[in-house]
Structure 1
Amino acid sequence: MIKRRLENKIRESLQRSPSVALMGPRQVGKTTIALNISENIPSIYLDLENMLDLERVRDITAFHEENREKLIILDEVQRKPEMFASLRGIIDKERRKGNKAGQFLFLGSASIDLLQQSSESLAGRIAYIELHGIDVLEYTAQNSGLITPLWLRGGFPESLLAASDQDSLKWRRDFIKTYLERDIPQLGPRIPAQTLERFWTMLAHNQGGVMNAAQLARNLEVSAVTVGRYLDLMVDLLLVRRLQPWTFNVGKRLVRAPKIYVRDSGITHALLNISTYNDLLGHPVVGGSWEGFVIENLLSVAPSNALPFYYGTPGGAEIDLILEFSGSEKWAIEVKRSSAPSLSKGFHIACEDIKADRRYVVYSGNERFPMREGVIAIPLHDLMQELLNTKK
């Protein structure tokens, strides 16, 4: 089992906040972390997909009264969003008794439902944490050498740790099927599984491409509005990333549509039936896959005050990832799969356009070195560590 970095952060948050919401897609490791935490403090774990457990919290006030000395862990909390109204009163009552922290740990697979319901009732009483897939720092802490297995299989623990590439691919295909046929219908949308799978696969084929709703709509034979609704759903489920353009006034025409990424590289490859590393290297998506893999890893360690964007102009000036920190410091990050990276004139122009404070190119080598015009070539692992250090 690979140690997850966020486990300590969740423990610290529980010492400060009455409730903590841990969000992430299914099977990413939320329950494992919660059970690890429960081994060291008095806790009770309930899975709200289990009908018996769901019945036990139907009156959450009475349930809490019986278990008020324990951390109450509620898994798949989006199944019972109406309980959040009652939780506010419970938390405030405990505060008056001097119990200010560590009362509830919520686990949720659908971020938008959890955020909408809890933020209205629990403002100032809840801390939000997102759990990404296993990342490069977590993986290399226990696996020396190449990160290609992580890139190929993705960050879902059962996929990454499977006995073989074929076993991993089978797990990811089953994961996709389960989401399409069971999990998404439970959330309410009446979307045919076959249609949504086609949409998901189209996004994988165009990994890292600028969103073209009209083209997707024609291919799916639906309206552009419907395509937008499909995309909103996949983003809300933390399966797809919509990277917004940096559009502040620079006196130029800018690309204003978002870039779209299937967030887990292993799911991208499963949707495209890529089973081995050699298959990946020969596939047209290899460049987009590597770009998405790097961006997701960087965002998994970026501080909360770093907002992500990309930059593009019709004339070819572009930056793959901009991190804009509070205080307006901007990092411009280009992603190259080559072990000997070279940069286009468009990247340098874009850096001048946005007045980047730091300029990096993440490449597949192992050494950090300076390039011209203030650009630093840096391995992914090193830039992730640098971002982690900015949190201190």
Structure 2
Amino acid sequence: MSSRRRFLQQLTLSAIAVPTLSAYPFAIPIQKTELDTDKPILKVALMGLGGYAERVAEAMQSCSRAKITGLISGTPEKLKTWGEKYQVPEGSRYNYENFDQIINNPEIDAVYIITPNALHHSQTIRVAKAGKHVICEKPMAINAKEGQEMLDACATAGVQLLVGYRMRFEPNTLKAVELREKGQLGKIKFFQGQTGFKIGDPNQWRVNKELAGGGSMMDIGIYSINGARYMVGEDPVWVTAQETKTDFETFKEGVDETIQFQLGFPSGAVASCLSTYNMNHLDRFYLVGENDFVEMQPSTGYGPVKGRTKNGPLNQPHTVHQTVQMDEMAQIILDGKKPILPVDGKVGLQDLKIIDAIYRSCKTGDRQELQLG
């Protein structure tokens, strides 16, 4: 048991920081917002208190429908520091061994899992068995088999499973989707997604297959997969993919450095995408229709996301993504709200099926047919 504790503590200390944080600073200051006490508030425990969890926690100070009421970490010092900062009482602070006890805590409605990819599966199932809703960072799991088991566990427990697809709430992104749905672009023909950055520390968990489940595809390439789906407005029916690797020391067997992949859609539209851990300045979506185009650049960073068509910029207001995400998810869970773009576990599972097929295509060189369901 002590060895497992040390393992999780080591992960928590080194794992959760998002490597591109400095590239996407907050564009507007975050200020404390009063909760809307006329409506139910989603009480959230954060699991994994690293760099991205800190961003989420700060953003949640501006939420009107969600608040931090619990903390889960393998690092006692973090539990103490974060507990004092966010006014979480000691009785709502847990470690990775005892967090099943949240079943007895009425001050926790949901757990936001922000840990390495390989831990999502077991942690989601444990949270579901404790009767709490799950918000899981992307990718939802390291393969579709695990994703399906997570969905099944949440369905059995009668809790919701949502995935941290923050871009599906971003104003310029939703405006681009609206223009496509209204027909301004005409028949969609082509999508291009470019997502990548240089990975940095070669010893981090993101280039450890056992923890990450892969490489750039699991971390940054998934944005192009998910983006292709909501920008084109269809789910792909086939995929082909090619892997390129230049640094065999950092990117060992099973950890992808760069993957190019192509998607085909039922309408005949096609997509060409790039996922990489070896190039900076790649954060662009480009959607082409018969009548117009939408370019998003930056397309997935923390903001401000910018978009334009042939008629000029989209000009939607910038929002702090994690604030909007958590308020929207509170409404999904508590009010039964149907978001414009779904963020449920089924969407996460479909992305995992595509990722599985991409890896198969890289190995075999063959086109992979997709049945996403």
Q: TM-score, normalised by structure 2?
A: 0.34
Structure number with greater CO (CA < 8 Å, separation at least 6) is 2
Quick check: which has more Rg, 1 or 2?
1
TM-score (norm 1): 0.33
